[in-house]
A and B are shown apart, each in its own frame.
With several copies, the nearest count.
Chain A
Amino acid sequence: MPRMTMIEAIRDAMDVAMGRDDNVVVFGEDAGYFGGVFRCTQGLQQKYGSSRCFDTPINESGIIAAAIGMASYGLRPCVEIQFADYMYPAYDQIVSEAARIRYRSNGEFTCPIVIRMPTGGGIFGGQTHSQSPEALFTHVSGLKTVVPSNPYDAKGLLIAAIDDPDPVIFLEPKRLYNGPFNGHHDRPVTPWSKHELGEVPQGTFKVPLGSAAVRREGSDVTILAYGTMVYVAEAAADEAAVEADVIDLRTLLPLDLDTIVTSVRKTGRCVIVHEATLTSGFGAELAALVQEHCFYHLEAPAIRVAGWDTPYPHAQEWDYFPGPARVSHAIREVMEA
């Protein structure tokens, strides 16, 4: 199997989808000729022409609205928002329109669109290139929300998302584009070419939406994570010297609750980690579900480790980022509780 970076895997997914189905179109700011600021769409315009892959004006609402109109026509747009931090102007189109068109028209009109956006921090991107807005999507009925953590999943989930009959928010942890960053910013990152999850099957293959992956098994504690935090969780488990179930959620909605509940009932302890700010983050939903479904198995409260409740700072990147030290501290806390 070829080795790919996450960027290459994402590009390959779109390439495969465009090759199979004329209705798949790709567009976004700088996504056409140039191939995207992270180069995820590079080469697609050349290969499929500028009717299938093109640049857009800088108007996120227009991008999503156009995609919605196209989807109702019968196309399958897979669009790029340059950074998740810039999706807010499109939030109305996503929430009030894309998410509800099927429902309000009783299925007469549907909205099979994929909205890709780089998410998360760790790149000194400051307030507007670092955000993790997943909870703003999981609260909205009618949207699916996906966060891959490696090239293999990225390709398989993206093809599944493009094939999905409903709108899918596809959040790409930008700090993982080139390797499994684990929060140790002072150490070199293994490139994907040397990582087994950098092995990506050719052609069409899917990772189904709604299924989590258990990245490692252990009986001491369950760590729930997604995106970059999967690697942070693994590093933290090592540093705390515990045997942890590390669950990579992959899809936040629909959520693979069974895998979570099975694990927490086994371990009796749960740590939840994400980069987004703590309050009303997706970790709140996870903690609520865990205590609801595993109450009688829990030895300690489920603990959340998350971004602080401040805007994402620039200079204090590593004070803000919930790295291995904070996560292993939380692990020890639940272990000792």
Chain B
Amino acid sequence: MVAENRLSFHVPEPEVRPGDEPDFSDVVIPRAGSVPRPSVDVDPKDIRDLAYSIIRVLNRQGEAVGPWAGALTDEQLLEGLKHMMALRAFDARMLMAQRQGKTSFYMQHMGEEAVSCAFRKALNPGDMNFPTYRQAGLLIAGGYPMVDMMNQIYSNELDPLKGRQLPVLYSSREYGFFSVSGNLATQYPQAVGWAMASAIKGDTKVAAAWIGDGSTAESDFHAALVFASTYKAPVVLNIVNNQWAISTFQGIARGGSGTFAARGLGFGIPALRVDGNDYLAIHAVSKWAIERARRNLGPTLIEHVTYRVGAHSTSDDPSAYRPKTESDAWPLGDPVLRLKNHLIVREVWSEERHKQAEAEVLDTVISAQKEAEKHGTLHAGGKPSTRDMFEEVFAEMPPHLKRQRQQAGV
């Protein structure tokens, strides 16, 4: 008998750690415009390749090229740019507000603005997102008032959620934004259930599920794919692969599979990867997937390939686990800059107008902030009441809660 080799334990490690030179040479980036655009009723079997490529529209010169280009007007693109700028400015102000003690916690989108802003514009009224904490672009691009977002972040007297929820875990039925959960992945299969309901009722609405790269490891991811696949639910399953899950790089969740999109293949669900820093590409791919859903062709999985430039949250310091300059080396660039350059190439934008727009956006954010702060911040000024704490546990307050509210003296 051959002497057997001993086993050894394998733990995936990122290419680089703090102190090392950032290195993305293993990330294969296909040329913009090089990935074909199948028709929406394609047999999923015939587009398995799309799970291993990246659909891109904007090239290095800032031009929109290839079969996924051409869907958006100048106006729509300018609007998209402003949404991303607004989200970035909003993030900056709220980060600062958190540092000033005006709230307990904040989570920013830096580098990922295109994903949620572009996706939102591909939806119809009545469609519903089941977002994570990093898709505030769905609200901003959907026209939700910034001041209400701030009221929520501040848990102030006008907080639509009455101080009950952690900052950034917004909720707005009207704006197609399902109440965000603090628990990862739980809402992915809920989105499928919502989509099943639309099909059961014979309606035309579709759902969009959202999850991070790290959270695809959660078991509810599987529940969602199983149900979506079995019932051909009209849902778009988004994975935002921003390379990191707090301190763990995407290799920990991805394991031996080439990409996160590949997870869809075992379910017969068409899976596309898209340049998550390319507003045009995201919009085009989202449109495609949403159309599939609405035409009763079933679920689509989209992996948005992007990069988390900032810290995970205000409680995190990424310099402990990755090189400080890693984001500069990220090969897909910055989504705001790329759309800005495209608009300049298109000759509908300029450096000056961009500067001016930046100032305008900042003004808007600041005045919303002033307005919100009139109604209080977490530890100062107006706030939700203790009574609010006891409300909405149930539609009707049962006797034991009434007793407790009384004990609390409110």
Contact = CB atoms under 8 A, between A and B. Distances in A.
Interface string B340-369: 000000000000000000000000000000
Given A73-B197, A73-B198, A315 B163 contact: yes
Interface in A46-62: 50-52, 54-62
A37 B317 CA distance: 10
A310 B393 contact: yes
Interface stretch (A5-13, A95-103, A238-246, A267-275): A95-103
Interface in B173-191: 173, 178-179, 181-191
Interface residues of B, number: 88
Interface residues of A, number: 75
A104 B194 contact: no
Contacts of B192: 62, 65-66, 69
Given A61-B220, A70-B197, A308-B408, A109 B179 contact: yes
B233 to A, nearest CB: 9
Contact of B392 (A33, A58, A65, A102): A102
Contact of B400 (A34, A105, A108, A279): A279
B62 to A, nearest CB: 37
Contacts of B383: 315
A278 interface: yes
A224 to B, nearest CB: 16
Interface string A118-143: 00000011111100000000000110
Contacts of B200: 25, 51-52, 70, 75
Given A25-B200, A126-B182, A34 B321 contact: yes
Nearest to A53: B11
Contacts of B73: none
Contacts, number: 270
A68 interface: yes
A74 B126 CA distance: 13
A108 B173 contact: yes
Given A309-B400, A314-B164, A316-B163, A72 B178 contact: yes
B388 A128 contact: no
Interface string B313-324: 001100011000
Given A109-B173, A142-B394, A89 B220 contact: yes
A35 B322 CA distance: 14
Given A59-B217, A313-B164, A106 B171 contact: yes
B392 A124 contact: no
B25 interface: no
Contacts of B181: 96-97, 104, 128
Closest 6 CB pairs of A and B: A69-B193, A315-B163, A128-B182, A66-B193, A65-B189, A57-B217
Interface of A: 25, 29-30, 32-34, 37, 50-52, 54-62, 65-70, 72-75, 85-86, 88-89, 92-93, 96-97, 101-110, 124-129, 141-142, 144, 165-166, 210, 253-255, 257, 278-279, 308-311, 313-316, 319-320
25 contacts: A55-B11, A57-B227, A57-B253, A60-B218, A62-B223, A65-B190, A66-B192, A69-B192, A70-B197, A72-B128, A93-B186, A93-B220, A97-B187, A101-B179, A165-B395, A253-B398, A254-B399, A308-B401, A309-B393, A310-B390, A313-B163, A313-B164, A314-B164, A316-B384, A320-B389
Given A124-B104, A165-B396, A319-B389, 4 more contacts: A34-B321, A73-B128, A166-B394, A315-B163
